A and B are shown apart, each in its own frame.
Chain A
Amino acid sequence: MELKVHRPAVKPRAGRTAVLWKRIKQQKLLLLMSVPFVGYVFIFNYMPLWGWLMAFQNYKLGTSIMNNEWVGLTHFRELFQDEMFIQVLRNTLAMSVINLVFGFVSSITLALMLNEVRKLLFKRFVQTISYLPHFISWVVAANLIMTVFSLDGVVNAVLLQLNIIKEPILLLSEPKAFWWMIGISNVWKEVGWNAIIYLAAMAMINPSLYEAAEIDGAGRFRKMWSITLPSMVPLIAILLIMNIGRLLDAGFEQQYLLMNTMVVDYAETIDIYVLKYGINLSRYSFATAAGIFKSVICIILLVSANQLAKRMGHSRLF
């Protein structure tokens, strides 16, 4: 450390380019090890933004973006006049909100429950099991979910046994039930994984707080309510911000894989809409416009949620 501090200053006569050149020479290996990835991230993450221009043209496959007819906001206008798009927007928002509420409530509840388990082995065991669905693909998950909810599946068997229903029902083909089915499926798949971060935060809480509460005669519910939950507010706030930014990201795979023709009006999200128009119908410009709409709303939501958190005095994302 000492050496670094007392390094002789570069002679003032040497120009800035010479200094820069010297640093480049010193760090040439670091540059060689990293600069190729600048090219990589530029091509795969920043170049597609150039493709946004397509939304303001009538893009035809195989032509250069610069040589196409410019049509201004025609595609956006068409988008908002499309009844299908409004319906898709409704589905996306509905499933997002359901996922957000279900996701937060379930994972915080699970973390609280696990936090109260005193047998460490049992706790580890439950956690290991609860991660399993997170690691399987949605294709596998959809297979499992469809089996469980099929006519002769276990859910129908249980409901019949309890006399809740008289005849087996196909819940995944009930239009009114589809949003909730997606919500439940998401909870089943991600609850254990999402609880990780809350459990980590709970482990950081100072034990003396609990001891003091115990002396004051607090029971376990009281300790959870008055110590554990308030300690988690900053974390919950930051996770909420991140999730509000994704409000138009209701997911794609689960709806795409679990839907069928009976529920299509309630199952299609913006992403499926983009896929359908862009890839299946080759309406690239129109589908790009829908994609841009989603991205722009995402950024607006993220920035405003961040501002809101700043004003409320909570930690924020950036």
Chain B
Amino acid sequence: MKAATGARRAVKFRWTWFDIFNSALLLCLMVVTLYPFANMAAVSLNEAVDTTLGSNFIWPRAFTLYNYEVILKDSIIYHAFMISVLRTVIGTVTSVFCTAMLAYTLSRPEFMLRGAISLLFVLTMYFSGGLIPVYMLIKSMGLTNSFWVYIIPGLVGAFNLIVMRSFIEGLPESLVESAKIDGANDFGIFIRIILPLCMPAIATVSLFVAVGQWNNWFDTFLYNSSNVQLSTLQYELLKKLQSANMSIGSSATSAFLNNQNADANQVTPTSMRAAITMLATLPILFVYPFLQKYFVKGMTLGGVKE
């Protein structure tokens, strides 16, 4: 028997032309996916003047950290970075807590408003009031020019709510029942029993919310663009991108260089943009691979919508 399975396994792992072709295509895909990042990273770590000689490389030719030094010493960029961190942390903690709490109540079979509230949230996935009415609402509530516009409007989303509720419904009912017999109330059960058991769902929803918060530039653009104190890293990057877009066609860097003496300690818009882009990418790069197991499961849970 053992020999038979061993033989089958050996057959299974023989490389056929199909496997070689398939793997080669997947490798190409990886190169296409990764090259832009590698290139951007290399440019951000390369001396700005050297980059103007041609920027198609994935390893810095003349290594320097000067580009990062410049952007981190820039008070506007630094402040925007801090606001981005703050909105990500506060936004994620509040949103995940509220989503989990609401999901717990909606998972209780005896709860009288279970169906009604679920429907109220699920419907929001199929329609929206549209940009202008929402804008007017936020404005009339006095949320423009405030940090809270980053936190409050996105507090509980229907998709995350469904992911969380499906997960809680999968937990054994006896946990809640025995705690009730012991005299625990619903809030206590949620905090002490459900929350610690929900960690996989919490990891998934946290990732979705945190990435959404970190990446959002549109709310800054729409509601807080007049207040530089509330600017975010993505919005500052957008401004740099747009000024580069203005000069599309003419090489901005060479025009810049013509007016300056070539000097190793110098930055160009291109190099600065590369460094800010990396600053906006690195936190994501360090987080998502470790949560892969969870969010793949979360996606399939949320995909089965009621």
Contact = CB atoms under 8 A, between A and B. Distances in A.
A88 interface: no
Given A48-B128, A137-B217, A37 B284 contact: no
A129 B34 contact: yes
A292 B130 contact: yes
A132 B33 contact: yes
Contacts of A151: 249, 251
A292 B255 CA distance: 46
A117 interface: yes
Contact of A136 (B56, B101, B134, B215): B215
Contact of A200 (B55, B248, B296): B296
Given A30-B105, A117-B26, A188-B33, A54 B285 contact: no
B133 A299 contact: no
A245 B125 CA distance: 11
Given A136-B215, A197-B303, A40 B155 contact: yes
Given A40-B155, A142-B241, A54 B280 contact: no
A51 interface: yes
B269 to A, nearest CB: 12
A55 to B, nearest CB: 9
B300 A200 contact: yes
A45 interface: yes
Contacts of A255: none
Contacts of A122: 23, 26
B124 interface: yes
Interface in B261-306: 273, 277, 280-281, 284-285, 288-289, 292, 296, 299-300, 303, 305
Contacts of B289: 128
A157 B56 contact: yes
A170 B249 contact: yes
A45 B133 CA distance: 10
B132 A51 contact: yes
Interface residues of B, number: 87
Contacts of A157: 56
Contact of A295 (B55, B128, B137, B190): B128
Interface of A: 23-24, 27, 29-35, 37-38, 40-52, 54, 110, 113-114, 116-118, 122, 126-133, 135-140, 142-148, 151-154, 157, 170, 172-173, 188, 192, 196-197, 200, 220, 245, 253, 257, 260, 262, 271, 274-275, 278-279, 284, 287-288, 291-292, 294-295, 298-299, 302, 317
21 contacts: A27-B112, A29-B185, A30-B105, A33-B186, A38-B120, A45-B124, A132-B37, A132-B288, A135-B211, A137-B217, A139-B241, A144-B40, A144-B277, A151-B249, A153-B56, A154-B35, A200-B303, A253-B218, A257-B238, A271-B131, A295-B127
Which 6 A-B residue pairs are closest in the complex by CB-CB distance? A48-B129, A51-B133, A291-B130, A137-B215, A48-B133, A144-B36
